[in-house]
Amino acid sequence: MIIQLYKTINPEDLQSIFNTLESNQYSVTQVKTQFENYLVCIGKHDVDIRIIGHLKGVKDIHRVSDNYKLVSRKWKTENTKINLGDDVIIGNGNPSLMAGPCSIESEEQVSKIVSHLVKNNIKIMRGGAYKPRSSPYAFRGLGIDGLKMMHEQCKPYNIKIITEVMQASQIQDMIQYVDVFQVGARNSQNYNLLDALGEIDKPVMIKRGISGTIEELLNSAEYIFSKGNEKLLLCERGIRTFETIYRNTFDINAIQILKDKSHLPVIADPSHGIGIREYVPKLALASLMAGADGIIYEVHEKPEEALSDGQQTLNFIESEKLVQKTQLIKALL
Ligand code: PEP
Ligand code: MN
């Protein structure tokens, strides 16, 4: 059960709500986010919620049978929109495109990509500064210097930045350069990181874990929300299955299921989803047709020379064609 409280609720009224809940054997977590004041109530018994709904200070009350609560569609039927400023809004019915290299490599690389984004009216740049790599000997990113490079070149064009944060201690250094924090697949259940991201006022896109279930993804988002940050996006990026012929099994089913189970926007990552460049555009388009609010994909001037994930990275021509096709999809939808 979720109770939405009036922000102006006075301490006595709040205490009386707590007393009623506790006498009905609910355990209660109070959640204050950027926008709202909630009580998340977990109980074993079925209680007539009208007795609580009538209490002073209660704005609304909803039963939520899912084990995740705040991210559930069961209490919030309208879609959540994430406003990044400068009219860049995710989840407003227009597919959002996020594109950029797997890793930030150099000033020159960033500058080429920014020109490509500007030319194609892509408003959000992706690019890893802190890279989780399967081998410790692979390129692990330029760190904060890479992020600053990206920020400096995106700012004049109001291009928004999404980049991965790998540990809580990086958040404070990164925050002024970032518009959306990405939680990578490998960190999808790093609950200390999720807790820390719950304490900031910046959007977070959380990727599905490498072998993560849909419910686990929703519960990871619940961690962040329940700490106070409701600016959240979910990302399907493929999962590990018995199939080894492509990088991951891109679970296109998950897109609709996530949209159905949660009010949060859903972003598809076909680059990591299949890991094979020539199929990325088709899966990107399929994802939008399947209901994704946006796509995130990798692009580089010379994918064959990229320091990471070149095999799944589009070149500028391929990326431009994809952007044009997304316009057609927009018209179709
Ligand atoms: C990435 O976006 O470059 C990345 C490392 O993705 P994932 O966490 O999905 O593997
Ligand atoms: Mn990558």
Q: Can you tell me which atom of ligand 1 is nearest the CA of 309?
A: 3
pLDDT tens figures, 139-151: 999 999 999 999 9
Please report, for residues 77, 104, 169, the alpha-carbon distance to residue 147 in angstroms, rounded to integers and kept in the order given.
Answer: 36, 8, 15
**Average pLDDT estimate for 97-113:** 98
At the topology level, CATH places domain 82-332 in: TIM Barrel (3.20.20)
In the chain, list all ranges with CATH 3.30.70.1140: 2-62
Query: Structure pTM?
Result: 0.97
Is residue 198 a contact partner of residue 229, using CB atoms and an 8 Å limit?
yes
Task: Provide the sign of the torsion angle of the four alpha carbons 60, 66, 70, 76, taken in this order.
Answer: negative
Which atom of ligand 1 is found nearest the CA of 269?
Answer: 9
> What would the pLDDT profile of 23-36 be if each residue is shown by its tens digit?
999 999 999 999 99
Counting ligand 1 atoms within 8 A of each CB, the residue from 142, 182, 246, 311 with the most, and so the one to mutate, is: 182
Ligand 1 atom closest to Cα of residue 186: 8
Query: Is 128 a pocket residue for ligand 1 (Cβ < 6 Å)?
Result: yes
Q: What ligand has the least distance to the C-alpha of 186?
A: 1
List pLDDT tens digits, range 175-203: 999 999 999 999 999 999 999 999 999 99
Decide whether any atom of ligand 1 lies within 6 Å of the 237 Cβ: yes
For the stretch 69-87, pLDDT in tens is: 999 999 999 999 999 999 9
Using the mean position of ligand 1's atoms as its centre, give its distance from the Cα of residue 95 in Å. 20
Handedness of CA 130, 193, 265, 259 (dihedral sign): positive
Ligand 1 proximity of 207 Cβ (cutoff 6 Å): yes
Q: For residue 331, how far is its CA from the centre of ligand 1 (angstroms)?
A: 30
Ranges for all domains in the chain classified under CATH 3.20.20.70: 82-332
Beta carbons of 38 and 58 less than 8 angstroms apart: no
Among all chains, which residue has been given the structure tokens 């407003």? 92
Give residue 208 CA to ligand 1 midpoint distance, Å.
Answer: 10
Q: Does domain 2-62 have CATH number 3.30.70.1140?
A: yes
Q: What is the mean pLDDT of the chain?
A: 97
Residue owning the nearest CA to atom 3 of ligand 1: 102
Instruction: Say how many Å lie between the CA of residue 102 and the centre of ligand 2.
Output: 4
What pLDDT score was predicted for residue 281?
Answer: 98
